[in-house]
Amino acid sequence: MEKLLVRGGNRLKGEIPISGAKNAALPLMIAALLTDETLTLHNTPRLADVALLQKILRNHGADTMIAGKKPGQSRFVGDTVHITAAEIIDTTAPYDLVSKMRASFWVLGPLLARCGEARVSLPGGCAIGTRPVDLYLKALSRMGAEIDVEQGYVIARAPKGRLHGARIVFPKVSVGATHVVLMAATLARGETVIENAAREPEVADVAECLVKMGAKIEGIGRSSLRIEGVERLHGAEHSIVADRIEAGTYAMAAAMTDGDVLLCGARAEHLSAFIDVMASAGVMATAEEGGLRVRRANGALQAVTVETQPFPGFPTDLQAQLMALMTRAQGVSSIRETIFENRFMHVQELVRLGADISLMGDTALVKGVEALKGAPVMATDLRASVSLVIAGLAAEGETEIHRLYHLDRGFEALEEKLRAVGADIERVAA
Ligand code: EPZ
> Residue 218: pLDDT band by 50, 70, 90 thresholds?
very high
Ligand 1: residue whose CA is nearest its atom 38: 174
Question: What pLDDT score does 303 carry?
Answer: 98
Contacts of 298 (CB under 8 A, 6+ apart): 282
Atom of ligand 1 lying closest to residue 410 CA: 29
Measured in Å, residue 113 CA sits from the centre of ligand 1 at 22
d(CA 165, CA 178): 14
Global pTM value: 0.97
Give, to the nearest 10 degrees, the angle between helix 244-256 and helix 319-326: 10
Question: What pLDDT score does 38 carry?
Answer: 98
**With 90 as the cut, is the pLDDT of residue 299 above it?**
no
Percent of the chain scored above 90 by pLDDT?
90
Check the CA dihedral 192-40-92-48 and report its sign.
negative
Question: What pLDDT score does 320 carry?
Answer: 98
126 given a catalytic annotation: yes
**Ranges of H-type helices in 263-354:** 272-280, 319-326, 346-352
Encode pLDDT of 300-334 as tens digits.
999 999 999 999 999 999 999 999 999 999 999 99
Encode pLDDT of 127-159 as tens digits.
788 788 999 999 999 999 999 999 999 999 999
Encode pLDDT of 386-402 as tens digits.
999 999 999 999 999 99
Mean pLDDT, all residues of the chain:
96
**With 90 as the cut, is the pLDDT of residue 77 above it?**
no
Q: What is the mean pLDDT of residues 397-408?
A: 93
Encode pLDDT of 163-211 as tens digits.
999 999 999 999 999 999 999 999 999 999 999 999 999 999 999 999 9
**With 80 as the cut, is the pLDDT of residue 124 above it?**
no
Ligand 1: residue whose CA is nearest its atom 18: 174
**With 80 as the cut, is the pLDDT of residue 349 above it?**
yes
Report the residue among 56, 104, 107, 131 best suited for mutation to probe ligand 1: largest number of ligand atoms under 8 A from its CB. Answer: 131
Encode pLDDT of 35-51 as tens digits.
999 999 999 999 999 99
Contacts of 70 (CB under 8 A, 6+ apart): none
d(CA 254, CA 326): 13
CB-based pocket (< 6 A), ligand 1: 23, 26, 103, 129, 131-136, 172, 174-177, 316-317, 339-340, 382-383, 410
Ligand 1: residue whose CA is nearest its atom 34: 340
Question: What pLDDT score does 129 carry?
Answer: 81
**With 90 as the cut, is the pLDDT of residue 295 above it?**
yes
Measured in Å, residue 60 CA sits from the centre of ligand 1 at 24
